[in-house]
Amino acid sequence: MMYLLVLGGLVLLFIGGEALVRGSVSVARKLNISELVIGLTLVGFGTSVPELVTSLQAVERNAVGIAVGNVVGSNIANILLVLGLAAIITPIVVHPRALARDGAIMIAATLLLCGLLWFDQFGRVAGFLLIALLISYLVFSLIADQRRHDATADLHKAEGESVEAGYGLTVGLLIAAAGLVGVVIGANLLVTGASTLARSFGISETVIGLSIVAVGTSLPELATSVVAAFRKRADVAIGNIIGSNIFNILGILGITALVRPFSVRGDAGAEAMAGDQPVSIIAAMDVGALVLSAGLLMLFVMTGRQIARWEGAVLLLGYALYMGMTFGLIPAVNLLPGA
């Protein structure tokens, strides 16, 4: 039964997420909203809705490991798995200047998340700060893109144009509403199934969140990137993934902390205890993989005009190694003393 819950949840999250994005974009176009605005807001946020709803429902059920692991694992999977697979299909031509600004913001948001994890600061003040930073980023980007019309603006416009949706206002609203319902139901099924799966096999909820749940909520990005790769427009997928990673950190964790503050220490699970002292449910290895994946992406983007197939293979190998260490199949090396 738990397998059906997980599978059903993943399917509904994927279908619901796709419907929500396409329906919302269709409505936006009918209201004459520019493709630039659509690409910067609806596409990036829409593909992150499955992560948002899943994390909210997980925290509501005190499954903090699933909630935080979902965000951390999704950001890792977006780069190592999704972009790695897209680059294997076809080398991704990139324009460093188009990705420099958003890439720098993604790195900054990733480092901010590391700080919040280290000091365990996920109260309402931190939630408000994260949301304020997200709004500031969106407002600044919209103003800058509309004024300059540079390579970054062209990329955001292309992200909006990449979504095929022309259903009209009424049908678009119905599709978006149906998609949202699907996401909510799918997230509920996934969290229930994932929690049961973790208990049944004696695996921590955090590991399930970092792996199965994270990959499941990243399916919209995976589908978008693979299709873009086959169409020789995978550069748009990179912009979408960078935007999604920014939304995941600032938006999802911000909203989750604001709605229901949580702690990544002192979880009821045994995995969060070292003797009598609570430790973070997100290990140093996970933080290292998060930072390394973001660093590798920017290194590949800034040092060449494309992400070659061999670089995609490096990303995929990195994800395989990370999953192997996460499930204990490969010995993990602690990068931090005492971690």
Number of domains into which the chain is organized = 1
We report the CATH number of the domain holding residue 131 as 1.20.1420.30
Q: What length is written for the chain?
A: 339
Domain presence at residue 207: yes
User: In a structure prediction context, what are the per-residue pLDDT tens digits for the chain, which is 339 residues long?
Assistant: 777 888 888 888 888 888 888 888 888 878 887 776 777 677 777 778 888 888 998 998 888 999 999 999 999 999 999 999 988 988 888 777 778 888 999 999 999 999 999 999 999 999 999 999 999 998 988 888 777 777 777 776 776 776 777 787 888 889 888 988 988 898 888 888 888 888 788 888 899 989 988 888 888 778 777 777 777 766 677 888 888 899 999 999 999 999 999 999 854 444 444 444 556 799 889 999 999 999 999 998 888 777 889 999 999 999 999 999 988 888 765 544 444
- Residue 282 resides in a domain: yes
- SS3 annotation, 192-255: HHHHHHHHHHCCCHHHHHHHHHHHHHCHHHHHHHHHHHHCCCHHHHHHHHHHHHHHHHHHHHHH
Q: Report yes or no on 333 lying in a domain.
A: no
- 133 is a domain residue: yes
* Residue 335 maps to a domain: no
Q: Which amino acid is at 188?
A: N
- Among residues 164, 175, 174, the alpha carbon closest in space to that of 19 is found at 175
Buried-exposed string 162-188: b where 16+ CB fall within 10 A, e elsewhere? bbebebeeeebbebbeebbebbbbbbb
Task: Give Cα separations from 277 to 59, 110, 292 (angstroms).
Answer: 22, 26, 28
Report the amino acid identity of residue 3.
Y
Q: Is residue 334 part of a domain?
A: no
Query: What's the gap between Cα 98 and its chain centre?
Result: 20
Cβ contacts of residue 270 below 8 Å, gap of 6+? none
Spatial distance between the Cα atoms of 50 and 248, rounded to a whole number of angstroms = 10
Find all residues with CB under 8 Å of 34, minimum gap 6, and list them: 157, 160
In a domain, 338, yes or no: no
Q: The whole model's pTM is what?
A: 0.88
CA of residue 238 relative to chain centroid, distance: 13
C-beta separation of 263 from 143 below 8 A: no
Which domain does 217 fall in, by range? 2-326
User: What pLDDT score was predicted for residue 272?
Assistant: 44
Q: DSSP labels for 100-167?
A: HHHHHHHHHHHHHHHHHHHHT--SHHHHHHHHHHHHHHHHHHHHHHHHH--HHHHHHHHHHHTS----
Counting beta carbons within 10 angstroms of the beta carbon of residue 85, is it exposed (0 to 12), middle (13 to 18) or buried (19 or more)?
middle
C-alpha distance from residue 278 to each of 9, 64, 246, 333 (Å): 31, 14, 29, 21
> Position 109: which residue type?
A
- 105, part of any domain: yes
Tokens of 94: 């990139």
Q: State how far Cα 91 lies from the chain centre.
A: 22
